[in-house]
Structure 1
Amino acid sequence: MSIRAIIVDDEPIARHSIARLLREEADIAVLAEFGDGASALEAIRRLKPDLVFLDIQMPELSGIDVAASLGEEDLPATVFVTAYEQYAVRAFEANAVDYLVKPFSRERFDAMLRRARRRLAGEGGQASAQVWQALAELRREQGYARRLPVPLDGSVILLDVARIDWIEASRNRVRLHVGKETYELRETMASLEQRLNPRYFARVHRSAIVNIERIRAIHPWFKGYHMVVLTTGQELRMSRYQHETFRGLARFQERTP
């Protein structure tokens, strides 16, 4: 059986690396390589390959968008490629499809090909509902901010949101607390909250949003209030009206060793 493959990755080195390894396989023919999702989507629909190597993170139309556009019926056997381990683990631990985390070893690549061949021989079945659910979740997360443009000394820096410990409201501005540093951003608390991934950030008070991974403890206070203690030692009062937030943070604390 000859396997017809397409490679989609916006990084030329990664794309060519996969192509080189595939060309060493006698039963695999590389139909085309693409550096963007839009071109790849059109080619997949037109060429109908047996196997697609699809980069998850690409500008404009990502691999997740390509998969969603094709749908469950028309998506070929797909190996999702990512530079971020957490994407692969969360999305594909159901083992319905395979993935490669860049950079990958030859051993990992060979193991992936064995699974792909089994899948194409009809032994692996279709992508499971869990995988499609995970892809939909990752697609939603693409819309959340990963970096914020912050003015600093007449310039603008791009601040990784993962570095933020907590965020403080200050009228029509917010203060971003990052370790011993504080940055100001002209934005309302409500609008910034919408841009942050609720998996990692929680509003504990009308004037405070915390990075969940910076929480060290949650202590009961009085009259239904709780105190959130961060790893920096900062203490923040949690509003007694944030019941859902409290339950979510309590579950987080139970999972934290």
Structure 2
Amino acid sequence: MTQLTALVIDDELFAREELIELLEETEQIDIIGEASNAIEGLKKINQLKPDVVFLDIQMPQVTGIELLGMLDPDTMPKVVFVTAYDQYAIQAFEDNAFDYLLKPVDPCRLEKTVKRLKKREQQTLEAIDTLAPQTLDQIPCVGHNRIVIIPTTDVEFAYSDLSGVHVQTAEQKATSQLTLKVLEDKTPLIRCHRQFLVNVKAIKEIKLLDNGLAEIITQSDHPIPVSRRYLKSLKETLGFH
């Protein structure tokens, strides 16, 4: 029987090690990585593409629930929440078809979870939509040897290139683990080009070019391309018809 690949995300080292040990004892789960916070976890989910993520809820900076909202629904793994929450909060996971484990994790309960995971397909998108935040107030990014949390209101634009997805504010550029699709769906940024999203409030001017193309100049004087496909909807958003 093939093993499921798994990633364990928990800021408590002892809890993480204990769960990994219990999972290995089931002999049905292959632990391919671990992370001590949601931002590192998001990076490893994108890199390792595990079948299932065991996700702690209460973590500093970005919680497990907020991390859920940062995953691309098209590629997200199965999620099992690991929580010390009380029964009332757990009801939310039961109602939304997510599995959960209570800390300290009981080996018999874990065995049931593993059996369910082997049987079940990905969570339904409806469950994700109900539980995950619909908007992101902050974007976790990786800067020069540091993690930065950027409020979405500070972002002038975001773009993708071969090295990843980048977020630009008036002061800094940082690399994000979020996809452009998630940023477009869950932040005020709007599409102006296949590889660019822009914050309408950061637009200083739009230069109309030949062939139906255009160029946005942001408040901090960054040029951003506007493709023919998105120029009409951008003008409509700004009130020009």
TM-score, normalised to structure 2, is 0.51
Point out 4+ residue stretches in structure 1 off by more than 4 angstroms: none
TM-aligned CA distance change 1:20 to 1:64, over 3 Å: same
2:68 alignment partner in structure 1:
67
Structure 2 counterparts to residues 224-239 of structure 1, below 5 A: none
Q: Is the 8 A contact 2:42 2:67 kept in 1?
A: yes
Larger Rg: 1
Matched, 1:127 2:151: no
Inter-partner Cα distance in structure 1 for 2:133 and 2:74: 16
Q: Is the 8 A contact 1:10 1:35 kept in 2?
A: yes
Q: Is the 8 A contact 2:65 2:131 kept in 1?
A: no
State the identity as a percent. Answer: 39
1:136 alignment partner in structure 2:
133
Inter-partner Cα distance in structure 1 for 2:132 and 2:29: 27
Could you tell me which amino acid in structure 2 is paired with residue 74 of structure 1? Answer: T
Shift of 1:17: 1.1
1:12 alignment partner in structure 2:
13
Inter-partner Cα distance in structure 1 for 2:21 and 2:107: 12
Shift of 1:95: 5.6
Structure 2 counterparts to residues 193-208 of structure 1, below 5 A: none
TM-aligned CA distance change 1:7 to 1:26, over 3 Å: same
Render the CA deviation track for 1:90-114: whole Å, top value 9, x for unaligned.
Answer: 3212262200111231111111111
2:174 alignment partner in structure 1:
none
TM-aligned CA distance change 1:57 to 1:127, over 3 Å: farther
Shift of 1:88: 4.4
1:81 alignment partner in structure 2:
82
Q: Is the 8 A contact 2:12 2:36 kept in 1?
A: yes
Q: Is the 8 A contact 1:94 1:131 kept in 2?
A: no
Structure 2 counterparts to residues 1-257 of structure 1, below 5 A: 1-86=2-87, 88-94=89-95, 96-119=97-120, 122=121, 125-136=122-133
Inter-partner Cα distance in structure 2 for 1:86 and 1:131: 20
TM-aligned CA distance change 1:88 to 1:116, over 3 Å: farther
Inter-partner Cα distance in structure 2 for 1:42 and 1:109: 26
Render the CA deviation track for 1:13-63: whole Å, top value 9, x for unaligned.
Answer: 211111001111333211111111111100100110011101111001211
Render the CA deviation track for 1:131-187: whole Å, top value 9, x for unaligned.
Answer: 5313338x99xxxxxxxxxxxxxxxxxxxxxxxxxxxxxxxxxxxxxxxxxxxxxxx
Could you tell me which amino acid in structure 2 is paired with residue 127 of structure 1? Answer: T
Inter-partner Cα distance in structure 1 for 2:128 and 2:92: 6
- Larger relative CO (CA 8 A, sep 6+): 1 or 2? 2
Inter-partner Cα distance in structure 2 for 1:107 and 1:27: 14
Render the CA deviation track for 1:222-250: whole Å, top value 9, x for unaligned.
Answer: xxxxxxxxxxxxxxxxxxxxxxxxxxxxx
TM-aligned CA distance change 1:81 to 1:87, over 3 Å: farther
Inter-partner Cα distance in structure 1 for 2:78 and 2:35: 17
Unaligned runs of 5+ in 2: 138-241
Inter-partner Cα distance in structure 2 for 1:47 and 1:30: 11
Inter-partner Cα distance in structure 1 for 2:112 and 2:96: 13
Inter-partner Cα distance in structure 2 for 1:114 and 1:131: 21
Render the CA deviation track for 1:63-82: whole Å, top value 9, x for unaligned.
Answer: 11221111322220110111
